[in-house]
Structure 1
Amino acid sequence: MERCYPVPSLSSLFTSSSVAVRASSQLCVPDCTGRKEGDLVKDPTNCLQYYVCSDPDGDGVLPIEPSVLPLQCEEGYFFNSADSVRQCEKINPSADYCKGLCSPCVIQCETPGTLIPSTLDCSKYEICLETGPQEVECPTATPYFNFENYGCTDDPTVCYDLCDPCDVYCVTEGRIPNPHNCHGYLYCNPPDVALFLCPENEVFNTQSLICENTTDTCDNLCTDTTGAYDDSLGSFLE
């Protein structure tokens, strides 16, 4: 259902002081819509993981919620999210089994009129327009954007907090920045991740996605080693 929210800061963009907006269907979240107690649903960021759906109140009334954390398929298995399956199955290396993934840190404006949360700032959201997304800041009295109900509120528990910039989301094939080392990058071929280092005195350009000579120093996005990729171990640190 469409709802109207006042957007005074954008009044020059519209013929009235409000714009018809809709909830975005582009959020990268586990979805238990239409599921029942105990059903399994895919982790949209990782084909080797899944979530369990449950009714917290036990009254059969929506919403049915996904588990707080995903569960991992056993080694050599992936989660088949087809409606007729929805369980872990043995990986067939010749099959394209790890596809249709998304990153919670990337929310695309695809349909004009939809609202999307800022992935890193709960006080802001964006309205998708034909000319591109327009950022809006919540009022001081209601400084938090509720990404489920699509309105500003004074409740800080409703923030979109699914994007961790220090996590590595390997969702499509290609290069991605290493948040723990600006002198290198990661190459993704979901679900596999390979570590690469730039030649000496070069840094990885997060826009062009290549290593470049520069006289400038670079700063790592994340300094905490939790989640960092350890080359000697061939895995991410817990």
Structure 2
Amino acid sequence: MTAPATTHTLLLLLALAIHPSVEICAPDCTNADPGTSVRDPTDCTKYYVCLLVNGEVIPSDEPVPCPDNQYFNTDHTVPRCDSINGAPQGFCSPLCDPCVPDCDGTNPGTLQPHPQDCNKYYICLSKDSKDGHFLEQDCPSGSYFDFMSGICQEDLTLCYDYCDPCVPHCTYDGQLIIDPLDCHRFYQCTPPTMSVFLCPHEKMFNIKTNICDASECYITCGGGGGRRGDKSVVVG
């Protein structure tokens, strides 16, 4: 069970208007017509198709990739895949990491899904909170967090399921991220591409300092290969 919140946090939560906030890394078909294509918020070379299912318009289960060397251009009246050659500066931004909760201190009181555990969720806190930018909470036993409505309910299909810890997620130029399968390797991001590098002299990539040193080995994939339930592990 999650540890009890501190008195400071409890007082802060009482002062906040807690409300759901749709995860920015999830595709959004709100007010879209069936058949509409919407951008994958985590990868500018992919898109989702909005589908009418049981009277509700929802995104397809998996994103559709654009052809090679193309990106999904939302500047058209009808968005489509265009060539990356000649694309305007910043065509691949903004992007987000689906495995990081959208709590940066600027949206206190909003509820966010736990990226890897549907039995939990986060309450975003303010920048000046002594407890960090979010507070982890448990859903009641046997229930799951619906990230769209911000409530715990019994339907597992309503879980946030966009985080794959076995896939590296680049969000901005120059970002350095660890290879989720090999702590001796890391990537330098230039979305939508990335370059792979090997740490020298058997050193490992430190996810806290973003440099190669003799630190512990952080394997973010967790070895499970699936989306839900994988967690970072430390190999001494």
What is residue 230 of structure 2 aligned with on the other side?
none
1:200 partner SS? helix
1:153 aligns with 2:153: yes
CA contact (8 A) 1:11 1:17 kept: no
The one-letter code sitting in structure 1 at the alignment partner of 2:62 is L
How far apart in 1 are the matches of 2:52 and 2:150?
23
1:87 aligns with 2:80: yes
Note the alpha carbon deviations across 1:210-238, whole angstroms, 9 max, x for none. Answer: 00035x5x3633376989xxxxxxxxxxx
What is residue 171 of structure 1 aligned with on the other side?
171
TM-aligned CA distance change 1:95 to 1:17, over 3 Å: closer
CA contact (8 A) 1:138 1:145 kept: yes
| Percent identical | 39
TM-score (norm 1): 0.78
Note the alpha carbon deviations across 1:141-162, whole angstroms, 9 max, x for none. Answer: x442221221122333322221
The one-letter code sitting in structure 1 at the alignment partner of 2:210 is L
Note the alpha carbon deviations across 1:166-205, whole angstroms, 9 max, x for none. Answer: 0121221211110011011011100111110001221100
Give the alignment's Cα RMSD to 1 decimal.
2.7
Aligned with residue 51 of structure 1, among 27, 48, 51: 48
Stretch moving more, 204-213 or 110-119 = 110-119
Paired positions, count: 212
What is residue 184 of structure 2 aligned with on the other side?
183
For residue 107 of structure 1, report the CA deviation from its aligned partner. Answer: 2.2
1:120 aligns with 2:134: no
Listed as ranges, the gaps of 5+ residues in structure 1 are 1-8, 228-238
Listed as ranges, the gaps of 5+ residues in structure 2 are 227-236
CA contact (8 A) 1:180 1:225 kept: no
CA contact (8 A) 2:123 2:135 kept: yes
Which structure has more relative contact order (CA 8 Å, sep 6+)? It is 2
The one-letter code sitting in structure 2 at the alignment partner of 1:81 is T
2:187 partner SS? strand
The one-letter code sitting in structure 1 at the alignment partner of 2:158 is V
For residue 76 of structure 1, report the CA deviation from its aligned partner. Answer: 2.5
What is residue 201 of structure 1 aligned with on the other side?
202
TM-aligned CA distance change 1:158 to 1:26, over 3 Å: closer
TM-score (norm 2): 0.79
CA contact (8 A) 2:22 2:147 kept: no
